[in-house]
A and B are shown apart, each in its own frame.
Chain A
Amino acid sequence: EVQLLESGGGLVQPGGSLRLSCAASGSTYRSSAMSWVRQGPGRGLEWVSTISESGVITNYADLVKGRFTFSRDNSKNTLYLQVNSLRVEDTAVYYCAKGQYYFDLWGRGTLVIVSS
Chain B
Amino acid sequence: EIVLTQSPGTLSLSPGETATLSCRASQSVTNNYLAWYQQKPGQAPRLLIYGASGRATGIPDRFRGSGSGTDFTLTISRLEPEDFAVYYCQQYDSSRTFGQGTKVEI
Partners in one complex: yes
A-B interface contact total, Cβ < 8 Å: 44
B63 at the binding interface (Cβ < 8 Å): no
Residue of B nearest to A103 (CB): B47
Size class of the A contact interface (CB-based, 8 Å): 10 to 19
Closest A residue to B90 by beta carbon equals A102
Distance in angstroms between the alpha carbons of A101 and B95 in the assembled complex: 8
Contact A106 B98 (CB under 8 A): no
Q: Mark B28-57, 1 if CB is under 8 A from A, else 0.
A: 000001010100000111110010000011
- Do residues A45 and B98 form an inter-chain contact, with CB atoms below 8 A? yes
Q: Is the CB of A106 within 8 A of B45?
A: yes
B86-106 interface code vs A (CB 8 A; 1 in, 0 out): 001010100111111100000
Residue of B nearest to A105 (CB): B47
The SS class assigned to the B binding surface is loop
**Chain A residues with Cβ under 8 A from B45's Cβ?**
45, 95, 103, 106
Give Cα distance in the complex from A44 to B3, angstroms.
13
CB pair B96–A101 under 8 Å, yes or no, is yes
Given A44-B100, A47-B96, A102-B35 in contact, is the A108-B90 Cβ separation under 8 Å? Answer: no
Q: A46: CB under 8 A from chain B?
A: yes
Given contacts A47-B96, A47-B97, contact A106 B44 (CB under 8 A): yes
Listed in ascending order, the chain A residues whose CB lies under 8 Å from chain B are 44-47, 61, 95, 101-109
